[in-house]
Structures are given as structure tokens and as C-alpha cells.
Amino acid sequence: MIRLLCLVGLLVVLLASPAAAHDVKAGSDLRIAQTIAGAELTLVIKATTRVPGPLRVEVIGFPSAPTLDLRLRSVTDGRVVTGTVAPGRPAQLRVEETGPHELTVGAGGESAVIPFRVLVDRGSGWEFLIYGGLFVAGLLLVGGLLTGAFNRRGRSAFVVTAVAAAGLAVAALIVILDPWLPARSPDGAEPRPTDSVIGRPYVQRVVTMVPAAPAAGEEFVARVELFDGSTGRPVDDLTIHHEAMAHLVVTSEDGRYFRHVHPLRTAPGRLEVRLRADRPGRYLTYVELERTDSGGQLLTGSFTVTGSAKPTASSDPALQDAAATGTVTVTPAAPQAGRAATVEVATSGTPRPWLGMAGHLIVRGADGEFLGHVHEMGTPGSRLRFTFSFPAPGRYLAWAQYATDRGITTVPFTVEVPR
Amino acid sequence: MKQVKGLRLLILGGLVAVVAAAFVIARTSGPDPVTTTGTRYAVTVTADRSAVDIRVDRGEADTVIVAAVMTTMGHAVPEVTARKAAPGHFVAEGDLFLMNGAWELSVRLAGRSGEETLTLNTLVTD
């Protein structure tokens, strides 16, 4: 009997559907970083447990955020509600049903359309077996008592006891196996098969600037259009990856210009962000994103800024060696290629979480062929510690980033990895 | 002794039957209608392996063209023009789906209400 039970348990475990890696589930907030109207902010769509019911939207500025106009539209029935949100002033919108929705966020003449699903958990679906088993057992135990009292023959009492025991055993078995049993998808979830996740094709990108050759000192739009590598159709199934639909890193070839921004989804498969560069020259772009049910991808591109340099008071300084910064320590001082090195950054102020982490380290090869993005893993105090293996000898440009109440601090430095 | 053996068998049989039945029920799902609303049209789409049924809930459409993509596999199939079965009711037939699974449907509608493409996800089973 024990063998048979083990076999049943094993079958259930093997056939159960795996958890989707990047679904937004009921009970968890949706946090999306956006660069809009010159501000870096995180939009928080709070989890809702009741539909119809309220949907709360908050915004966190780094360090500040403008008032955002919100327009929530149900893709199912087209119902629209509007509101505004600002830091410390959350918006209370209302959802009438579960399923796909679009939240349009507007500020300063820019807008983003954020698709998301409102999900409400329906429970495991196995509860009826637990409660059913207990109900049958309870009912039959009473019946057993009555049978025992009025019937002297043991046969009926035996059957009643046996069925009651079976009910209890089913309830207990389901309670034990519950973590491995296939869960019912929540209300409003995307229709999808319950079998294993197989990933999605790679993304092809087209990076364009509007205008095509931006002039130094003038604002331009960096536009990234995403296409499916297999079908050629726009890719519009980006999952939230480190609290953003996409992370765009733009650096000048010499590394003095560095921006880590979070473009706005302006149309299916299209991401845009406004930028400004002070100096002419070639700039490199890196887009970090992740499709639903897939791993992360890095898409690269480049563009040229024309005209003559328009230095401003906040022009970016030249990068210096880590040791010369006074705030960055690399251990060992001359890292070996392929071996883990530790990069420690002394922070100014207490870091607060940004993009889900206390700190970020972006490392670029001097020629731009390599880009790495490392996370701080929870060092106590006012230091950030990163562990990173520089892949090959050479010169690397690096930018450590963290957020405090004063906004986002970027610490640029270089690391030389000897041969 | 015989009674104890019978009790064991009864419990075991009950357990296996209930768990197996519940497991089969939990994993079985059929095509569900999906309603999507755009700015000009609203449609309710029911897709199975052989046909896609499109009911235009809002807007006046003369032609409806369906394109199907299996996003996970990167499969795309030729567009199919849906047959007008009744006013506001269209049926697309043909080899739209190569296999069972999650498909993304792009429904392009044109008519007095203008032109619009609505995209929705559906689960196709036999």
C-alpha cells in the first residue's frame, strides 16, 4: 500500500505544471520603473484581492516625480477610469473585472501604455477534496455511532468505519500533496497550457534616433523597436525584468556619457525615451529585457551625435581608475580574468532599494563589445559590495549606481585587468 | 485479519480513484470565449482546432481577417479571411493552427466603423 501511495504521489509531482517564472500573480504588487518627463520613477500598481474593487496606484520618485495622469482601460470591455498620482498622493482607481488592462501614464507631453492583468486567486481547486473528505468522515462517524448502537452485526459498522477512514485519508493526503498539485490559474489569467514552459524566440531590434542624427545639446528620442526573430512580428510580451519592461544603457565610446533609463512603451513592440547628449561622437546602446517565459536578452546598437560640443555645468567628467576615486575598492587590486573580483563602493547616504536592489554595477569593455550588469547582494552599512569576474584581460569602464533620498548616484570608474 | 485487509484495499481504492479523477478534471480545459475591446470594435472569439468563431459585439464590420501566431514556438500561419455567417458573426476556417497550445490571434476588422486590429490570446485544444 505504501508503495502504491508513493507511486501516486510521484505521478502527481511529475505531471504537475511548473510555476511560471515571471508572471504577475494575485497578491503581489507590480512595480515598473519609467523615465518620463525627465524624472526617474517607479510606478507601483498595488495587488488587488477583490474585483470589482479598488486598484491603488502609487509612484516613488528618485528623488522626485511629477504628477502623472492615469487612464486605466479594461481591454475586455473597454471601460475607462482616470485619475492622477504623485509621490505621497496615491491614485485610487476602480476595476470592474479581472483580465487584461492597459494603464496609460502621461506627464510632460510623454506617455506610456503599460499592459497588465488583474488576477484574483480562485484557491487551489483541491479544497473540495479536503472538505469533502472531512465532511464524509464526520457524517459517517455519526452514522457509525448510530449503527453501533442499534445494529449488533459488525459488518455495517465495518463498512461505515472504512469509508470514514477513507474520507479522512483523502483529506490528509491532499493537505500533504497540496504544494505539488497543479494549481488552478487565477481569474483573469492568460489562457495557456499547463505543460512545461519552452521559452520564446530571440528578439531582433531596430534602434533609431528621432531626429536620425541628433545634434549635441539638443533633446532627441531614442526609439527601440522589437521584432520576433521567427515571425517578424512586433514583440509585445515583455515581462517585468528587474522592475522594468526594459533597461536602456547609453554610453559614449569614451564612457564619459552614461545613462541608465527605462523607456516608455508607446506602441506594441516600441519603446521610447528622451535623451540629450552634450558632445558629438558615437554612442553605444544596450537594451536589457526579457520575454515572458524566457531568459534575459541584451540587444545592442549605436548612433551618432553631430554638431559641436555644448558643455554644461553638469557635463560628465572623464572616468578615472577605481583607486583614484577614493570611494571604490577593487579586490584584488589587479583582478585576474575569469576569477571573481570584489568591487566595494562607499556610499554617500543610506541606499534605498531601486529596481529591486540596493545597488547596481554596470561594466562595459573599453571597445563596447561586452556589457555586464551586476547586483549588490545585501551588504550591511553604507557600503555596496559586488562580485564580478572580468571575462578577459583589458580595460573596463564601470558605473556603480545606487539610490538615496537625494536621488540616484552614479559612480564611474575604470578597472584594468592585466594579461 | 480478512477484515483488516479489506479495509486497506477499500481505503487504497478510494484514494487512488479520487486523486486520479481530481487530477484529470484539474488538467482538462476547453476553449473559452475571449472578449476584447478596442477603440472601434469589440469582439468575442472562440477558437478550436478547426475554426475560429468571431462575434462582433460593437462596431459594424464587413470583413474580418484572422492571423495566428504561436508565440512560444515562433510559428506564424497565413492569414485567413473569415466567412460572414450572419451580420456581426464571422467564422474563419482552415489550417489556422498547426498544433494545440497557446496562440496569439490578430483579428483585423474593416467596415463602416473603420479599420482596427485586435490582438488576443487563446488556448487551442482538440
Q: Say if the Cβ atoms of B15 and A5 lie within 8 Å.
A: yes
Partner-chain residue, chosen from A76, A232, A237, that has the shortest CB–CB distance to B36: A76
Residue A405 has pLDDT above 70, yes or no: yes
Closest CA to A68 of A49, A51, A87, A53: A87
Taking residues A93-109, report their average pLDDT. 94
Partner-chain residue, chosen from B12, B26, B29, that has the shortest CB–CB distance to A1: B12
Q: Say if the Cβ atoms of B102 and A192 lie within 8 Å.
A: yes
Q: Which of A9-23, A128-142, A302-316 is most confident?
A: A302-316
Work out the pLDDT band at A24, boundaries 50, 70, 90.
very low
Using a CB-CB cut-off of 8 Å, the residues of chain A touching B27 are 15, 182, 194
Using a CB-CB cut-off of 8 Å, the residues of chain B touching A133 are 18
- Min Cα separation A133/chain B (Å): 10
Using a CB-CB cut-off of 8 Å, the residues of chain B touching A12 are 19, 23
Work out the pLDDT band at A150, boundaries 50, 70, 90.
low
| pLDDT, tens only, A117-145 | 998 877 666 676 777 777 877 777 777 76
Q: Say if the Cβ atoms of A231 and B122 lie within 8 Å.
A: no
The reported pLDDT for the residue numbered B32 is 84
d(CA B111, CA B60): 6
Residue A18 has pLDDT above 80, yes or no: no
Question: Testing the interface with A: which of B2, B9, B12, B18 to mutate, by most A Cβ within 10 A?
Answer: B18
| pLDDT, tens only, A87-97 | 999 999 999 98
Work out the pLDDT band at B106, boundaries 50, 70, 90.
very high
Work out the pLDDT band at A11, boundaries 50, 70, 90.
very low
For A13, the closest chain B residue by CA position comes to B23
Taking residues B98-103, report their average pLDDT. 90
The 3-state secondary structure of B59-79 reads CCCCEEEEEEEECCCCEECCC
Angle at A124 between CA A118 and CA A125, to 5 degrees: 110
Residue type, A266: T
* Average model confidence (pLDDT) across chain B: 85
Taking residues A33-55, report their average pLDDT. 92
Burial grade of B79 (CB within 10 A; 0-12, 13-18, 19 or more) = middle
The reported pLDDT for the residue numbered B22 is 57
Percent of chain A exceeding pLDDT 70 equals: 87
Asked if A404 and A348 count as a contact pair (C-beta separation under 8 A), the reply is yes
Q: Say if the Cβ atoms of B26 and A4 lie within 8 Å.
A: no
Partner-chain residue, chosen from A15, A193, A233, that has the shortest CB–CB distance to B69: A233
Work out the pLDDT band at A378, boundaries 50, 70, 90.
confident
Using a CB-CB cut-off of 8 Å, the residues of chain A touching B102 are 190-193
| pLDDT, tens only, A270-284 | 999 999 999 999 999
Using a CB-CB cut-off of 8 Å, the residues of chain B touching A293 are 72
- Min Cα separation B118/chain A (Å): 10
Using a CB-CB cut-off of 8 Å, the residues of chain B touching A75 are 36-37
Report phi then psi at A169, rounded to 5.
Answer: -65, -40
Work out the pLDDT band at B94, boundaries 50, 70, 90.
confident
The reported pLDDT for the residue numbered A23 is 42
Residue A296 has pLDDT above 60, yes or no: yes
3-class SS of residue A74: strand
**CB within 8 A of A249, min separation 6: which ones?**
A258, A259, A260, A285, A286, A287, A288, A362, A371
- End-to-end Cα spacing for chain B: 50
Q: Say if the Cβ atoms of A201 and B27 lie within 8 Å.
A: no
Question: Testing the interface with A: which of B19, B27, B70 to mutate, by most A Cβ within 10 A?
Answer: B19
Give ipTM to 2 decimals.
Answer: 0.75
Angle at B31 between CA B29 and CA B32, to 5 degrees: 100
Work out the pLDDT band at A51, boundaries 50, 70, 90.
confident
Q: How many inter-chain contacts (A to B, CB under 8 Å) are there? A: 110
Partner-chain residue, chosen from B10, B27, B32, that has the shortest CB–CB distance to A194: B27
Q: Say if the Cβ atoms of B15 and A201 lie within 8 Å.
A: no
d(CA B59, CA B110): 10
What pTM was estimated for this model as a whole?
A: 0.82
Residue A3 has pLDDT above 60, yes or no: no
Q: Say if the Cβ atoms of B121 and A233 lie within 8 Å.
A: no
Q: Say if the Cβ atoms of A198 and B12 lie within 8 Å.
A: no
Q: Which residues pair with B43 in a beta bridge?
A: B36, B56
* Average model confidence (pLDDT) across chain A: 86
Asked if A329 and A361 count as a contact pair (C-beta separation under 8 A), the reply is no
Closest CA to A343 of A399, A418, A404, A391: A399
The reported pLDDT for the residue numbered A158 is 72
- Min Cα separation A10/chain B (Å): 12
The reported pLDDT for the residue numbered B88 is 95
Q: Say if the Cβ atoms of A182 and B27 lie within 8 Å.
A: yes
